[in-house]
Structure 1
Amino acid sequence: MTTALQDKVALVTGGSRGIGAAIAVRLAADGADVAFTYRGSHDRASDVVERIKATGRRAVALAADSADPVAVRDAVERAAGDLGRLDVLVNNAAVFAVKPLEETGVDEFEEAMAVNVRAVFVATQAAVPHMAAGGRIISIGSNVADRAVFPGLTMYATSKAALVGLTKALGRELGPRAITVNLVVPGPTDTDTNPADGPAAATINGFTALGRFAAPAEVAGVVAYLARPEAAYITGATVPVDGGFTI
């Protein structure tokens, strides 16, 4: 059976856990060969590799620190080289930086911007030469860029808000090449760093219209749609997957 992304090649940054892992596995289930980067656990990365291979697709795990622009660029080149091409780039890697303003060092702010913004720019810049018409660039933002309901989110909200402008500008620039650029904006999502049964979960649920956290697979489903051929006329868009958090 032919699937929506049959024989496409995708690279997912930060793909060893949480939303990134769900995206990597979903793209594979839709027919893509998938490379992904990871920084921490080799065991987690190996698990995602096996889940991708279980769909019948090729998998490549690339150790790379998104704070290092050389490592980011090298990961893109290795993904395209190992899998033969590149059709979809998902910029998912991020640091969830939460700290009061008075306690935030400039070095911490710069790290958040390096991983959450600069790495997106660098990976996109490196990926575009490998993409033909129909290429897809999809970045993962955050609902707190629109609604920061807790203190201490200045670094994170600033970095994620920057992706809105980056997405729009890239969409305009790459449109003539038929490469689309979109931003998926999750709300509260059940991950290791923000579990649906965590101490603040009940309060966070109250900020959403649906009264619950998303499953990572729900975010991955939207990313997968934007990677499909039928999404070819969507670019420069910010797509919320936030359970009504910002309405």
Structure 2
Amino acid sequence: MTTHPTPLHELLKLTNKTVLITGAAMGIGKAIAWRYAEAGAALQLVDRDADALQQTATELREQFDAAVTTHIVDLSDNSAITALWRDITPTPDILINNAGIFAPVKLADIDQAAFDKTMQINTRAVLTMCQEMITRRTAPGTIINISSIEALKGMTYDMTLYAMSKASVLALSRGLVKDFGRSGWKVNTILPGGISTPGAQKMGLAALKKLDFSIIKTGLTYNLRLPAKNLGQPDDVACTALWLGTPMSQYVNGAEIVVDGGFLAV
């Protein structure tokens, strides 16, 4: 008897799944939430910007009649993360660690405060979210961590601290697969390149106002090297994240997927 593959529309259906997304108010996180809502998933959205998060939730409810719960959480406070997980019902099937900060700081100027803040949000918070997810679920789930191509190749001046924090996300994902992959857990990492997000646009405008030519030069150099000839859009990352959360990627585990328009290839 011939066995037919699952129909494509069934593979993309997430009506019985709950996804938790951090940094969901805008940019890449909002785009990911949009795609998961379109696929029918229930959404647990986390961000520290209450107004922007509420606006995103309203849009998703109106557009998709999505089941959306919002959580205002400052991920720089580890106790707030623990409290978040006490409030979440049900425990999500899919966790997407998207939140992060990328304030430039010169290598010589990295002090304890800058180090602690960046590593807490970009690394420690991701670790704690993963620990809580694995501890609280009774069945294996899916984790998608958002890193950056900065973790593989520094392309921007004054971003060493950010690159360090994002490289640690790669190590964390690999460790999770090694420790929990045989139990059925699926953990993958997405490494975006230059994506046109509100945060990136804000940093570019700030550089222009301050006449920070190092960042301006980096942007020009990046664009000249980029085969795609234009920055990516948040939805480029969101579609990859959706694929990793569906059965279409059921045999993909421990992958580090670059979404950069070909930048690292040239």
Normalising by structure 1, what TM-score? Answer: 0.92
Deviation string, structure 1 residues 7-64 (Cα, Å, up to 9, x no partner)? 2001001110110111111111111111111112x22111110122121221111011
Tell me the CA shift for residue 204 of structure 1. Answer: 2.7
Tell me the CA shift for residue 134 of structure 1. Answer: 5.2
Once the two structures are superposed, the pairs formed by residues 84-163 of structure 1 within 5 Å of their partners are 84-131=90-137, 133=139, 135-163=141-169
Q: Aligned match of 2:44 in 27, 35, 40?
A: 35
Tell me the CA shift for residue 132 of structure 1. Answer: 5.0
Q: Is residue 2:218 matched to residue 1:218?
A: no
CA distance 1:76–1:24, change in 2 (3 Å): farther
Tell me the CA shift for residue 133 of structure 1. Answer: 4.3
Q: Distance in 1 between matches of 2:118 and 2:147?
A: 13
Once the two structures are superposed, the pairs formed by residues 191-210 of structure 1 within 5 Å of their partners are 191-195=197-201, 200=216, 201-210=219-228
Q: Give the AA of the match of 2:117.
A: E
Q: What SS does the aligned partner of 1:246 have?
A: helix
Deviation string, structure 1 residues 114-139 (Cα, Å, up to 9, x no partner)? 11011111001111134354511001
The total of aligned residue pairs comes to 243
Deviation string, structure 1 residues 221-241 (Cα, Å, up to 9, x no partner)? 000000001212111111000
Q: Distance in 1 between matches of 2:38 and 2:146?
A: 20
Q: Distance in 2 between matches of 1:73 and 1:13?
A: 14
Q: Distance in 1 between matches of 2:159 and 2:37?
A: 33
Q: Distance in 2 between matches of 1:68 and 1:165?
A: 22
Task: Considering fraction of residues, name the structure with more helix.
Answer: 2
Ranges in structure 2 where 5+ consecutive residues have no aligned partner: 1-8, 209-215
CA distance 1:226–1:132, change in 2 (3 Å): farther
2:258 maps to which residue?
240
Q: Distance in 1 between matches of 2:95 and 2:226?
A: 29
Q: Give the AA of the match of 1:70.
A: S
Higher CA-based Rg: 2
Q: Is residue 2:60 matched to residue 1:52?
A: yes
Q: Give the AA of the match of 2:22.
A: T
Q: What SS does the aligned partner of 1:195 have?
A: helix
Q: Distance in 2 between matches of 1:132 and 1:215?
A: 36
Q: Distance in 1 between matches of 2:125 and 2:133?
A: 12
Ranges in structure 1 where 5+ consecutive residues have no aligned partner: none
Tell me the CA shift for residue 99 of structure 1. Answer: 0.8
Tell me the CA shift for residue 202 of structure 1. Answer: 4.1
Percent identity over the alignment?
A: 29
Tell me the CA shift for residue 155 of structure 1. Answer: 0.4
Structure 1 window deviating more from structure 2 (219-228 vs 200-209): it is 200-209
Q: Give the AA of the match of 1:204.
A: Y
Q: Distance in 2 between matches of 1:241 and 1:207?
A: 15
Q: What SS does the aligned partner of 1:194 have?
A: helix
Q: Give the AA of the match of 2:93.
A: D
Q: Distance in 1 between matches of 2:95 and 2:147?
A: 14
Tell me the CA shift for residue 171 of structure 1. Answer: 1.0
- Contact (CA 8 Å) 1:77, 1:126: kept in 2 or not? no
Q: Give the AA of the match of 2:121.
A: V
Deviation string, structure 1 residues 192-220 (Cα, Å, up to 9, x no partner)? 12139866454332232211111101100
Deviation string, structure 1 residues 79-122 (Cα, Å, up to 9, x no partner)? 3x2xx231000001111131111222111111111110111110
Q: Aligned match of 1:15 in 20, 24, 33?
A: 24
- Contact (CA 8 Å) 1:37, 1:75: kept in 2 or not? no
